[in-house]
Amino acid sequence: RWKLQVLDLRKVHGNFWRTWSGAVVDACSPGVMKERQTVKASPDTGPTLPLKVLVNLRFQQRPLNAFLSFLFHWVDARKGLIQLCCKKLQMCSLPVCTIEKILERLDLDLIQQLDMQCFWRLSTLATFATYWGQMSNLRKLFFSHVYVSAYASKEERDQLMDDIISQFAKMDSLRRLYLDGVFLLEGCLCQ
């Protein structure tokens, strides 16, 4: 018997869910979700490989839209059975705690393109940069609008920059770096 191994949702039409399921809202509503039951595998079926779900993710809304909310609920309910794979990830103006929750659900080794369009303090960027070091296949990185707090001492700024630069050293696959409104790398770009 054939078993689904990969579900590729990267290049679906924007109206895909409405066309396929009747309505996004209906398909993702709490009432429908409660009616659906997950079928448990029988003990004699043996080990199963996780289902790979390929998606390109773009987050620009708070709260998450119905599809993303459903997707994350579905993945969380099937921990160990679903591997959420994202090659292109774009985030715009999200709080760091939301970004961290999203990244914890993804296989960071598979991310190849990361686009961060957020207004961040240098300290926030340093916190987030620790995830970059885990993205071993990251080829393209774009981030914008990082500012340094007027209250940060020179020592604090230097330490934060060291934290950020140390993550760049782990990104062997990085080929393109795009910066917009980021002036904090002056004097340390060669590093």
Task: Map residue 190 onto helix, strand or coil.
Answer: coil
Q: Domain range holding 137?
A: 48-179
Nearest Cα to 90, choosing from 185, 182, 178? 178
Q: What is the CATH number of the domain that holds 144?
A: 3.80.10
In a domain, 73, yes or no: yes
In a domain, 82, yes or no: yes
In a domain, 32, yes or no: no
pLDDT, tens digit (0-9, with 9 covering 90-100), for 47-104: 567 889 899 988 876 777 788 888 888 888 988 888 889 999 998 877 778 888 888 8
The answer, yes or no, to whether residue 24 has pLDDT greater than 50, is no
- The number of distinct structural domains making up the chain is 1
Task: Map residue 178 onto helix, strand or coil.
Answer: strand
Q: Model-level pTM?
A: 0.72
Nearest Cα to 28, choosing from 60, 78, 68? 68
In a domain, 111, yes or no: yes
| Per-residue pLDDT at 69 | 83
The answer, yes or no, to whether residue 108 has pLDDT greater than 80, is yes
In a domain, 99, yes or no: yes
In a domain, 19, yes or no: no
